[in-house]
Amino acid sequence: MSESVIIQNLSKTYPGVKALDGISCTVNQGEIFGFIGPDGAGKTTLFRILTSLLIPDEGTASVDGDDVVKDYKSIRSKVGYMPGKFSLYQDLSVEENLKFFAGVFKTTIAENYHLIEGIYKQIEPFKHRLAGKLSGGMKQKLALSCALIHKPTVLFLDEPTTGVDAVSRKEFWEMLHQLKSTGLTIIVSTPYMDEAALCDRVALLQNGKILSIASPEEIVAEFPHKLFGVKAKKLYQLNELLKLEDQVHSTYLFGDNIHLVLQENVSIEMFIEKIKAENFNDLEWESISPGIEDCFMELMHKA
Amino acid sequence: MGKHFAGHRRLFYGTNAQSMKTVVTVKNLVKKFGDFVANDNLNFEVYQGEIFGFLGANGAGKTTAIKILCGLSKPTSGEITVAGFDVYKQREEIKKNIGYMSQKFSLYDDLTIHENIRFYGGIYGLSNADIKSKTSQYMEKLKLHEYAKSRVSDLPLGIKQKLAFSVAVMHEPQIVFLDEPTSGVDPITRRQFWDMINAEAEKGTTLFVTTHYMDEAEYCHRISIMVDGRIDALDSPHNLKQQFEVDSIEEVFIQLARKATRDE
């Protein structure tokens, strides 16, 4: 498999903040690669460097064989970039925006219509509406169409699903998987840990550093502890109690149960009996498999 | 089983069914913008000490309803009281008795921590002595000493959010509206934030929360799910999962929100 993006030892510092701290990784052609991390992890800085909009302090990166500093002109025609903030022209219509972006890249809507058809068709009935008057979901579809109209080989999507409801998020990921089938390399960032499972490979990012790079399955397989799911009616109080226990390595609320890791050599059966005696008679537990969020928190612990 | 469980949840937040005090009452709330019905006959109550999740797809009408409950917008019709005050005639009283925090706007970025606390304390009419004691309390509890001189814009996001929450409850409001409070924060901070929410509820404050994280919906005592301006579901997370025969609130949400016919 050939490499589409190569990142070597990339660093970027803003006054008082090390936004990127020696990041290295590669993205293969045709994969969906996710940079997963909270706000401030360095995702946007990284995307801006990779799309030639920002110059790194140290390190190098190339996209599709072009250096992000030296070959900035050719990079700009190769990549599609959808920034986190809606940045189309609000006072142009849907169609005018698309025409504008096609024109900038010296192509036409007709020439590359097949690339955007699946997405653009959904907003085409509103093509005379001003972009500023579109709903959030429609804006997103237009932005994606504009990012694709010049037939990029690599698509960068910076937090496309932030603030988007669960249903629209699901639909957006379905669109990405359809795009992937055309051979496009897709690099996406998200603060939602559950979206990691929808990527081929992910890099977990925190404070400008990569905590781990692997497929979601591998990341989960590398979780170094036994994980238990614990339920009780007074869940919050139970979690507060567990936090104070020496025999607990970590305890976190996860929806309707607690994810518990014990210190090494502590017997779960004996531990549970002890906690039950502290007024949590209804406590139930089972062994569970970790998710990406468990792994992310474990890696944060270590870092 | 479901009823039995609901009873436990009530005990859990420190009140029993008979004496539960209602903090928000919404009867037949309708809000129209021209022909567009943003809120289509909403009916619900929220109780003292309750964590109430207010969910819905983008464009379902949540923001419209929250603005009305915060006294920022008048409904077209309906009987609505918040903290005992009427949303038509006593909107200034409502504003004094609620707190509000959102991820987008809460603190002033170019003021320091102290300046923000003093500003909000002043707005809500706290005495200088109270502002002073709250300030030292927050500095201690949130471990802010190393940031004492920094502007809020230079604080890590997690700390900023915890501070914003503390400032939103500084005047001890009966009810606090949290609009996507945890959006974008790391998973550990997100859970610490929910610990603060739970602790506040234990004190008897009502928390009215919107979120796109479906696991967080499970932390609420009850949740409502809005679809096309209506409330299509309202119950404890446990009961909703039973009713829809699914394992997670995310699945409940997707089943309901998929029925939406209107665009944002």
What's the ipTM? 0.86
Instruction: Tell whether B77 is within 8 A of chain A (Cβ).
Output: no
Mean pLDDT of A67-75: 96
pLDDT of B202 reads 92
pLDDT band at B183 (very low <50, low <70, confident <90, very high): confident
Distance from CA of B35 to the nearest CA of A (A): 17
Residues of A in contact with B215 (CB under 8 A): 254-255
Closest chain A residue by Cα to residue B6: A233
pLDDT exceeds 90 at position B122:
yes
Please state the pTM of the whole predicted model: 0.88
Chain B residues in contact with A41 by the CB 8 A cut-off are: 186
Q: How far apart are the first and last CA of chain A?
A: 32
DSSP state string for A10-38: EEEEETTEEEEEEEEEEEETT-EEEEE--
Measured between beta carbons, the chain A residues lying within 8 angstroms of B57 are: 165-168
In chain B, which among 134-163 make CB contacts under 8 A with chain A?
154, 156-158
More confident residue, B119 or B158: B119
- Digit-coded pLDDT (tens) for A121-133: 999 999 999 999 9
For the segment A1-58, what is each residue's pLDDT rounded down to a tens digit? 699 999 999 999 998 889 999 999 999 999 999 999 998 899 999 999 999 999 999 9
- Phi-psi map region of B186: left, alpha, beta (phi>0 left; psi -120 to 50 alpha): beta
| Residues from chain A contacting residue B53 (CB–CB below 8 Å) | none
pLDDT-based confidence at residue B151 (cuts at 50, 70, 90): very high
Within a 10 A sphere around the Cβ of B146, how many other Cβ atoms? 8
Q: Give the residue-averaged pLDDT of B177-189.
A: 91
Q: Is the pLDDT of residue A120 over 50?
A: yes
The share of chain B scoring above pLDDT 90, in percent, equals 79
Task: List the 147-186 stretch of A: residues with Cβ below 8 A of B.
Answer: 162-170
Mean pLDDT computed over A222-243? 95
Question: pLDDT class for B105, splitting at 50, 70, 90?
Answer: low
In this predicted model, what pLDDT tens digit does every residue of B82-97 receive, in sequence order?
999 999 999 999 999 9
Q: How far is B254 from chain A (nearest CA, A)?
A: 6
Percent of chain A surpassing pLDDT 70 = 100
Using CA coordinates, name the residue in chain B closest to A256: B218
Please give the average per-residue pLDDT across B225-241, as a whole number. Answer: 96
Please give the torsion angle defined by the CA atoms of residues B82, B263, A193 and A158, in that order, rounded to the nearest 10 degrees. -120
Closest CA to A173 of A140, A216, A213: A140
Domain limits, chain B: 2-257
Q: Chain B residues with CB inside 8 Å of A258's CB? A: none
pLDDT band for B16, please (50, 70, 90 cuts).
very low
Whether pLDDT at A295 is above 90: yes
**What pLDDT score was predicted for residue A248?**
97
B188 to A297: CB separation less than 8 angstroms, yes or no: yes
Q: How many CB pairs under 8 A join A and B?
A: 101
First to last CA, chain B: 38
Sequence-separated (6 or more) residues with CB below 8 Å from residue A102: A108, A109, A111, A112, A149, A150
- pLDDT given for residue B149 in this prediction: 86
Least confident of A129-133, A164-168, B117-121: A164-168
The percentage of residues in chain A with a pLDDT greater than 90, rounded to a whole number, is 88
pLDDT grade for B154, boundaries at 50, 70 and 90: confident
**For range A232-246, the mean pLDDT:** 94
Q: Which of B9, B57, B185 sits opposite A167 (nearest CB)?
A: B57
| A84 and B CB contact within 8 Å | no
pLDDT value for B15: 42
More confident residue, B1 or A208: A208
Q: Hey, what CATH class is B2-257 in?
A: alpha beta
pLDDT at B264: 56
- pLDDT at residue B19 is higher than 90: no
Backbone angles phi, psi at A156, to 5 degrees: -105, 120
Whether B4 shows a pLDDT value over 50: the answer reads: no
**Choice between A136 and A231, residue whose per-residue pLDDT is larger:** A231
The residue-averaged pLDDT of A149-167 equals 92
Closest CA to B217 of B14, B96, B56, B68: B56
Mean pLDDT, residues B196-214 taken together: 94
Residue B44 has pLDDT above 60, yes or no: yes
Q: How many CB atoms lie within 10 A of CB A14?
A: 10
Q: What is the mean pLDDT of residues B97-103?
A: 91
**Domains by residue range for chain A, with CATH:** 3-215 (3.40.50.300), 227-302 (3.30.70)
| Average pLDDT of chain A to the nearest whole number | 94
Cα B167 from Cα B145, distance rounded (Å): 17
- What are the chain A neighbours of B260 within 8 Å (beta carbons)? 167
Which of A151, A152, A40, A134 is CA-nearest to residue A95? A134
pLDDT at A1: 64
pLDDT at A205 > cutoff 80: yes
* Shortest Cα–Cα distance, B98 to chain A (Å): 24
Distance from the Cα of B125 to chain A's closest Cα (Å) equals 33
Whether A38 has its CB under 8 Å from any CB of chain B: the answer is yes
Closest listed residue to residue B167, CA positions, set B192, B191, B142, B198: B142
User: What is the pLDDT at residue A180?
Assistant: 94
Q: Does B263 touch chain A (CB under 8 A)?
A: yes
Residue A259: both structure tokens together: 């994810």
- Rg over CA atoms, chain A: 23
Q: Which residues of chain A does B219 touch, with a Cβ-Cβ cutoff of 8 Å?
A: 236, 253, 255
Asked if A38 and B185 count as a contact pair (C-beta separation under 8 A), the reply is: yes
